[in-house]
Amino acid sequence: MKSVTSPEAPAAVGPYSHGILSGGLLFTSGQIPIDPATGEIAGGGFEGQVRQALDNLDGVLRAAGTSRDRVIKVTVFLTDMGKFGRLNGIYAKFFGGHRPARSAIEVAALPKDVEVEIEAIAEVP
């Protein structure tokens, strides 16, 4: 096993790694929409938060030597399932033609009161 840390993702808000490489797979921690440059929650409402969480996830993938087209499974945590359709539009653009398996779960709250958190499992070449 090997820990992965990315300068393109915000510092961890607890005792965990951005990701763990094991057996040719990357298991990422959930990425919330904090801008790594400022340490602030991304602006732009829900859509801005989704984009930032995906950008942070992308940074962790790159740090591990993989990419979004090698993502196998995504888990999305939302504080309002009523925004699922809005998530889908941004998510589809992010992954393009690639369609990893996905779960979306509504939760009561997320760290720092953000609206979305996204984690993934990816193959590492």
Do residues 84 and 78 touch, judged by C-beta distance below 8 A?
Answer: yes
**CATH class in words for 2-123:** alpha beta
Rounded to whole angstroms, how far apart are CA atoms 38 and 26? 26
Report pLDDT for 12.
87
Report pLDDT for 91.
98
Report pLDDT for 22.
98
Rounded to whole angstroms, how far apart are CA atoms 38 and 73? 29
Report pLDDT for 13.
77
Q: 15: buried, middle or exposed (CB in 10 Å: 19+, 13-18, 0-12)? A: exposed
Quick one: which of 34, 39, 1 has its CA closest to 118? 34
Provide the residue ranges of all domains of the chain, joining segments of one domain with +: 2-123
Report pLDDT for 20.
98
Rounded to whole angstroms, how far apart are CA atoms 81 and 122? 25
- Residue 41 sits at φ, ψ, to 5 deg, of -65, 135
Do residues 25 and 120 touch, judged by C-beta distance below 8 A?
Answer: no
Report pLDDT for 35.
97
For residue 16 the two structure tokens come to: 């965990």
Do residues 51 and 78 touch, judged by C-beta distance below 8 A?
Answer: no
With residue 49 as reference, give the H or E element that holds it: helix 45-63
Below-50 pLDDT ranges, the chain: none
